[in-house]
Structure 1
């Protein structure tokens, strides 16, 4: 497949360009962007392919695309910034700043537990419409009234959608602003958690590969028992993961979802803008260095109650694990968050690296997707 890749890569990072170009040549990518900062220097800013295969619209330099759960790191940073500015103690109960949360066994749940997927609220207790999901206050109130699925602090389980409304409530209560508005004003003007009409018009269409390419084919490094457990989770509509990812439901190509501002998964942005966010984070412009060190410090690791495989979390940031596989060269120092279908954003304080990759073809690493892994590997090979 002959696809033009535009943009710039420093000669020292030509390996990143080669990996990116190869991903179009072999059909792994439809449209995508990748960006890398080393310190303040933008050393890679590449894009290529199609933003929409139906119309043939090309992926341009400023084409935004949904980044899915990469959003969580941005929402967590907004909430940490607000907590720091308003004197919120992270080790104290959520109820100190959210009194309505103190019910149904959640009275002692700490803000740290909220940030690290330990709160026991991985899913809503009933259906949620796309229209309802646009009301952040209503979503938070509903979660505050729920009984947790485990005693908070005793387990961790991925809060795939609820994370955004739980952690985002800290922003809403202290600033009277949505996470989206706060993020654009304070963290990055091109980080759209809630896309307006002009952004939606430019946004890449999220697409799936052929069915045959969605079958699990490459389970390394998981063992057979873990794979069997995952298969069972994905077959069960009542599993914690399925309940946590389908309510609210809706198409990420639809204007209601794109405009909805879902603060766990609803960010539409470019790879360059997401890499800029991590650049600013790593250099201490968004969070005090001491607070950032706390935020990326591992709080939990082990089999995730929702995902069924190993996950590891700091305060909203993921650390390398079975659900966030990175090359050995990056494993000790990298933090960030992956997103559904292959997207990723990472930071590395020790090496001064910030990187993001956002594709519109939604692949699964269990079906052999190694696009992000190979790009990260190329970045660290260039250091």
Structure 2
């Protein structure tokens, strides 16, 4: 039996070929990919090792950490509440969170929170994994902070703070954590958790670090669809090496502590920015339901997909584009030409991706446990997405 197992519709054989190639080239330890064409699951593949230390095999029901892919799920929860009339996306945050108006943020809107425009890309002080389990306390800390730019005047990726900003929309308007709201409202029956029980954590894939840093970023840039010039690579290298850069302050605080993102403290807490455990079929089913109008109304989704910001990102330094919580095609979210006008979703730092395309009727999820080299735009994810689109033609 080969490394890759599972089902693949013959029309989508290209996805399987790419997935198998990644294992053959040593680009994977363990991983899973799932694709829906409309309501039909056309790809459900997995393979490799779930835990390098023990040699435990990746099984059909193995959940994997999705890093920032979580943000799309959190944003969907917030958007569902807006659709129900709980708050106005373009109205002031102070209307339902009065304390947020401190330090010059009184003009901030919920749309600013959801589209990385609010100017709070990082916490002012170090935050431990244990502290990060207290969502109200972290939200209060952010409410008191002075923004690094006037809300609405720029955008910069809020790598971790996003979860406690967008998550506060959910908590204040539903009285539930993001994880509880998601399970109750649209993920019941799916193997998808933002805040997982111990038995799920125990059987989850364990992350293994790949080579990262400026040299790895250079290799990732040359091995991906991104066109990166020398000046950009120089600025990226400088940001990686500067502990006080916005990039480092945003990506690394709160720190996950011992064991990194395998730390059960993090996985139990379910950080709403980067805390999801899911199987690839369950995560793809989330995008299937989202694009199919079963979570949000189609008009709500279309408005959420509309780019609110695009261009140079103050945190990541490369160009990014965001709707209301969803990434749109840019240097941070590679998609082939067929999906550049209609695809949306989110990437995760380890190489994971979730993608929906309501026009193409496509939903895809890819979750690996071998951390990718590049900070954004993992080439493995791009090749799988490319193969999925090619299979539709």
Provide the rounded CA distance (Å) in 2 between the counterparts of 1:3 and 1:254: 31
> Is the counterpart of residue 207 in structure 1 residue 208 in structure 2?
yes
| Cα 1:215/1:308, change in 2 over 3 Å | closer
Structure 2 runs not aligned, ≥5 long:
none
- Distance in structure 1 (CA, Å) of the matches to 2:246 and 2:210: 26
Contact 1:3 1:24 in 2 (8 A): no
Shift of 1:214: 3.9
The one of 252, 261, 265 aligned to 2:261:
252
- Counterpart for residue 232 of structure 1: 238
Per-residue deviation at 1:118?
Answer: 0.3
2:40 corresponds to: 41
**Matched residue SS, 1:262:** coil
Q: 1:215 to 1:304 in 2, by over 3 A?
A: closer
Match of 2:138 in 1: 139
CA 1:367/1:191 → structure 2, altered by over 3 Å: closer, same or farther? closer
Task: Indicate the residue corresponding to 2:219 in structure 1.
Answer: 217
- Counterpart of 1:312 in structure 2 is 321
CA distance in 2, matches of 1:337, 1:149: 24
TM-score (norm 2): 0.94
Shift of 1:25: 1.0
Deviation at 1:373, TM superposition (A): 0.8
State whether residues 192 and 269 of structure 1, in contact with CA within 8 Å, keep that contact through their aligned partners in structure 2: yes
For 1:119 and 1:373, locate their aligned partners in 2 and report how far apart those are by CA, in whole Å: 29
CA 68–82 in structure 1, closer or farther in 2 if over 3 Å, else same: same
TM superposition outliers: structure 1 runs of 4+ over 2 Å:
209-216, 364-369
* CA–CA separation in structure 1 for the residues paired with 2:185 and 2:134: 21
CA contact (8 A) 2:86 2:173 kept: no
- Partner of 1:333 in structure 2? 342
2 CA distance for matches of 1:32 and 1:18?
Answer: 14
C-alpha distance in 2, partners of 1:211/1:301?
26
Measure, in 2, the Cα distance between the counterparts of 1:377 and 1:371: 10
Distance 1:367 1:299 in 2: 20
The normalised TM-score by structure 1 is 0.97
In the alignment, the residues of structure 1 paired with residue 86 and residue 183 of structure 2 have an alpha-carbon distance, to the nearest angstrom, of 22
Q: How does 1:112-123 map to 2 (within 5 A)?
A: 112-123=111-122
Relative distance call for 1:260 and 1:3 in structure 2 (3 A) is farther
Q: How many residue pairs get matched?
A: 382
CA distance in 2, matches of 1:154, 1:367: 24
Pairwise CA RMSD: 1.6
